[in-house]
């Protein structure tokens, strides 16, 4: 059994994040909320998401799994205005999830979750931690475009830098002081990442969201942030590209 | 002789409706206004339009026929801002219509109307009549998209429903009570229609327009509405698709 | 040595004008400002631009030449908001120009100017001179679209007219009286020009800019206008098309 109401904006925020990696998704549902673990087809990035029942306007559920096609959920979201409530209810008899938005009823076939295994999330302890508004990352990403397919993140005790090196041109965004919300770095670290992945996740995070970037040298980067006024927590892990010097 | 001024918004509203079916159109012009009957190339839908002289700011005409290429008229409309007056005058010597918008003069070749016969409009008496704002139809249409190529309209004594059934998914918009302006239905009726035609005409009707939907079982649907503050009357007829059960 | 700060809007205005003709450009830089002379690949149009040091927020330069790829400069402008200051400084060691916008640093390879010769600008004395807001030219251009590939400019003692003649259709914009800022014409003159060139330059001039059009019969047309509150002066010369009657 699963029956929940939530704001269309909340659902949209979650769907935007997940669909940077995958099209079909399995939610593991319990009485206190739902969780999701997903890895993209190329195994370059991974998302871990916890959505507490506080993220919902109303929430009632037993333990179950629900598989959804995110493109169809996006279709439902197009029918909702900002501020609308989206109701979801599992229809056990037909293996469907029934969405209601105002006087519209949308019955959606569920995706079979039998073959969708949860990826194993590596436990990483990364040397550096930087907190900043996602808007700064988005600015750095815009600057990086067209210079290179990679982006280098670098942090030291008092700065965080995004940079791109092309054959002839380069661009960098250096953040320090009040441009950062906080930084913990004993020494300088740097890693390089695929620009497209970093761009997609950065664009999907709503402007005005605080993000913690955990970084180390030639290690994955971890982005940690909250959605739905803190009721949904997201960890995003992106594998590094090895630099050829 | 034909010489008339009208608001660019009025002309735009009329052109938007007609161009859902055809590109070249014949207006039958008389001293008190103009009429149009048109059917699309596939003979699936038909428009009947009466534009009274009250729809115009000024109007002087003898009986005549004028054939227009609607894409060219749309080009003229792009030169006008909302609120601008468009003047039209037939130039008999050259077989042209002369449009004026501000200090722009656009001379447009007329389309030969000799081979453009008026379609015969069937007289239908349909069992059910529903009045509602076009905005509700537009909402139903948005929901139907991607589920199926057909839309089913259903009405009973106290409801009107738009629905789409795909192989696995479905969507419906049910309107009752204050969502409707009025309904006259003795018993339940339903018919299925091609989604693209229904979508095109529904999108072309300006938001905030009241529409009367006349419906019966496995009969064409008739949409009746007014433009230009009531001075232009439109009847749109769409043939049903036979459902294969 | 070259080091200058200027408003992003000013830089954008200059780049928009130049990039109607060419992608790579050579600026000739001196202590009091920079100049540019450029002709398009087909030798149909020519730009002459003088940007005085007053167009800049700060300006320090020795005599030198700087070759730039305008697409890259447009990329930098996308990182700046309206009102932002763009700093440029030549990096002699690496043959680069370093742009700074806020905390973003963009190092850009210079284009080799060795093979970029200044075109010889013809000295023309044209019979007629019309002053008007570019907005009127832009309106005429919109009307001309789809009728023909050419536009005819015509001026007499008390009018200026843009017109297009197609095989069957035509359009004209006639300006007189208060639609013009001024006109000096002894007798009627007319020339025909390629629509695409005239369209590109007209669209690139900011709305609200006063333009002087110098016109003669079967001669090039000259558009003279100022940018950056008068600190940048532009002369644009467009060759006529010979009319085949």
pLDDT digits (tens, 9 = 90+) for A175-225: 999 999 999 999 999 999 999 999 999 999 999 999 999 999 999 999 999
**Contact check, Cβ <8 Å, B173/A107:** no
Could you say which of C146, C170, C175 has the minimum Cβ distance to residue B107? C170
Distance separating alpha carbons of residues B140 and B213, to the nearest angstrom: 14
Q: How far C240 CA lies from chain B's nearest CA (Å)?
A: 23
Q: How far A176 CA lies from chain C's nearest CA (Å)?
A: 9
Could you say which of A72, A78, A102 has the minimum Cβ distance to residue B169? A72
Q: What is the pLDDT of residue B94?
A: 75
Distance separating alpha carbons of residues C53 and C30, to the nearest angstrom: 9
| Alpha helices (runs of H) in A7-133, residue ranges in sequence order | 8-18, 70-78
Q: What is the pLDDT of residue A244?
A: 63
Distance separating alpha carbons of residues B129 and B211, to the nearest angstrom: 10
Q: How far C202 CA lies from chain B's nearest CA (Å)?
A: 16
Residue A245 has pLDDT above 70, yes or no: no
Residue A206 contacts residue A134 (beta carbons within 8 Å): yes
Residue C156 has pLDDT above 60, yes or no: yes
pLDDT digits (tens, 9 = 90+) for C105-115: 999 999 999 98
pLDDT digits (tens, 9 = 90+) for C41-72: 999 999 999 999 999 999 999 999 999 999 99
Q: What is the pLDDT of residue A240?
A: 97
Distance separating alpha carbons of residues B78 and B97, to the nearest angstrom: 17
- Cβ neighbours of residue A60 under 8 Å, at least 6 residues apart? A1, A2, A3, A4
What is the set of domains in chain B, with CATH numbers?
A: 2-109 (3.10.150.10), 128-238 (3.70.10.10)
Could you say which of B145, B168, B173 has the minimum Cβ distance to residue A104? B173
Q: What is the pLDDT of residue C144?
A: 87
Partners of B178 on chain A (C-beta within 8 Å) are none
- Residue B4's CB: how many other CB atoms inside 10 A? 22
Q: What is the pLDDT of residue A243?
A: 66
Q: What is the mean pLDDT of each run of 10 residues along chain B (245 residues)?
A: 96 97 96 96 96 97 95 94 95 89 95 90 93 96 88 97 93 96 96 96 97 97 97 97 71
Q: How much is the average pLDDT of C199-214? A: 97
Supply the ipTM of this predicted assembly.
Answer: 0.88
Residue-by-residue DSSP string for A162-187: EEEE-SS-EEEEEE-GGGSSEEE-SS
**Contact check, Cβ <8 Å, C79/A169:** no
Query: Which stretches of chain C sit within 8 Å of chain A by CB?
Result: 72, 75, 78-79, 96, 103-109
CA angle A27, A30, A36 (to 5 degrees): 25
The sheet carrying C189-194 orders its strands as B58-61, B2-7, B85-91, B96-101, B104-109, C170-175, C159-165, C150-156, C189-194
Q: How far B172 CA lies from chain A's nearest CA (Å)?
A: 5
Kindly indicate the confidence band of residue C241, based on its pLDDT and cuts at 50, 70 and 90: very high
**Contact check, Cβ <8 Å, C79/A179:** no
- Cβ neighbours of residue B32 under 8 Å, at least 6 residues apart? B52, B53
HEC string of C116-150 equals CCCCCCCCCCCCEEEEEEHHHHHHHHHHHCCCCCE
**How, if at all, do strands B159-165 and B150-156 pair?**
antiparallel
Q: How much is the average pLDDT of A163-181? A: 94
Residue C227 has pLDDT above 90, yes or no: yes
Q: What is the pLDDT of residue B244?
A: 64
**Contact check, Cβ <8 Å, A106/B143:** yes
Residue A167 has pLDDT above 90, yes or no: no
Q: What is the pLDDT of residue C93?
A: 78
Q: How much is the average pLDDT of C135-150? A: 91
Distance of CA C132 to the CA centre of its chain: 16
**Contact check, Cβ <8 Å, A169/C107:** yes
DSSP bridge pairs for C106: A171, C99
DSSP bridge pairs for A238: A45, A221
Q: What is the pLDDT of residue C2?
A: 96
pLDDT digits (tens, 9 = 90+) for C17-44: 999 999 999 999 999 999 999 999 999 9
Could you say which of A72, A78, A107 has the minimum Cβ distance to residue B142? A78
Q: For residue C140, what is the nearest residue in chain B, using CA coordinates? A: B104
Q: What is the token pair recorded at C110?
A: 């210079």
DSSP helix, strand, coil percent of chain C (3-state; round to 5): 20, 45, 30
Q: How many residues does chain B have?
A: 245
Q: What is the pLDDT of residue B225?
A: 98
Distance separating alpha carbons of residues A177 and A163, to the nearest angstrom: 18
Mean pLDDT of chain C, nearest integer:
94
């Amino acid at each position: 059994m699963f029956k929940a109401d939530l704001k269309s904006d909340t659902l949209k925020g979650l769907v935007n994040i997940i669909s940077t990696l995958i099209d079909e998704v399995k939610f593991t549902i319990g009485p206190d909320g739902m969780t999701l673990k997903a890895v993209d087809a190329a195994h370059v990035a991974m998302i871990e998401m916890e959505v507490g029942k506080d993220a919902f306007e109303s929430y009632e559920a037993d333990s179950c799994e629900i598989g959804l096609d995110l493109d169809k959920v996006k279709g439902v979201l197009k029918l909702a205005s900002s501020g609308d409530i989206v109701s979801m209810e599992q229809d056990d008899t037909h293996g469907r999830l029934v969405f209601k938005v105002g006087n519209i009823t949308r019955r959606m076939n569920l995706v079979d979750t039998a073959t969708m295994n949860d990826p194993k999330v590596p436990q990483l302890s990364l040397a550096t931690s930087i907190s900043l508004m996602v808007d700064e990352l988005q600015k750095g990403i815009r600057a990086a475009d067209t210079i290179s397919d990679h982006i280098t993140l670098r942090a030291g005790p008092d700065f965080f830098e995004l940079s791109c090196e092309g054959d002839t041109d380069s661009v960098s965004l250096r953040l320090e002081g009040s441009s950062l919300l906080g930084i913990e770095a004993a020494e300088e670290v740097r890693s390089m990442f695929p620009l497209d992945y970093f761009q997609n996740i950065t664009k999907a995070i709503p402007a005005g969201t605080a993000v913690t970037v955990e970084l180390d040298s030639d290690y994955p980067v971890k982005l940690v942030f909250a959605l739905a006024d803190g009721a949904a927590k997201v960890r995003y892990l992106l594998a590094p590209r090895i630099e050829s010097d």
